[in-house]
Amino acid sequence: MVKQYDIYWVNLDPTVGSEIQKTRPCLVISPNFSNKILNTLLVAPITSTLRKFPMRIQIDLQGKTGQVALDQIRCVDKSRLLKKMDSLDKESVTNLKEILSEYLVE
C-alpha cells in the first residue's frame, strides 16, 4: 500500500500551463485511510529548482537537495506511480505539517 509521506517517481504528464511537468519524485500527502480505499492520491512534486517560497520545503533526497512544492499539490491516479524512492524523515514531516497548516488553513 502507498503510505503518506512516501516519495515515488510519478509521471505528471500531460500538464497544462504552469503545472510542474515530466516524471519526477513526488511526496504523497494524502492520509493512509484515503490511500487504502481510493484509486487517487494527493501528491506534491519535488523539484531541484530551489526558490525562496514559504510554501516550499527543502529536503535531501538520495544525496541531492530539492524542494517539496506545496504550491503544486495535485490529485493523481495511482497508475501514474512508478517506483518508490524513499520516505520523508520525521523532522521533515513535522516541518511539512506546519507549512501545510499555515499555507492551506490560516
Flag whether the pTM goes above 0.95: no
**C-alpha triplet 13, 99, 5: angle, nearest 5°:** 55
Cβ atoms of residues 24 and 47 within 8 Å: yes
Write the CATH number for 58. 2.30.30.110
**74 in any annotated domain:** yes
Domain assignment present for residue 95? The answer is yes
* Residue 1 maps to a domain: no
Number of domains in the chain: 1
**DSSP symbol at 103:** I
For residue 46, the cross-strand partners are 68
What pLDDT digit, counting tens, does each position of 1-49 carry?
Answer: 999 999 999 999 998 998 888 999 999 999 999 999 999 999 999 999 9
**59 within domain boundaries:** yes
In a domain, 70, yes or no: yes
pLDDT digits (tens, 9 = 90+) for 50-103: 999 999 999 999 999 999 999 999 999 999 999 999 999 999 999 999 999 988
In the Cβ-directed half-sphere of 39, how many Cα atoms lie within 13 Å?
A: 3
Boundaries of domain holding 66: 6-105
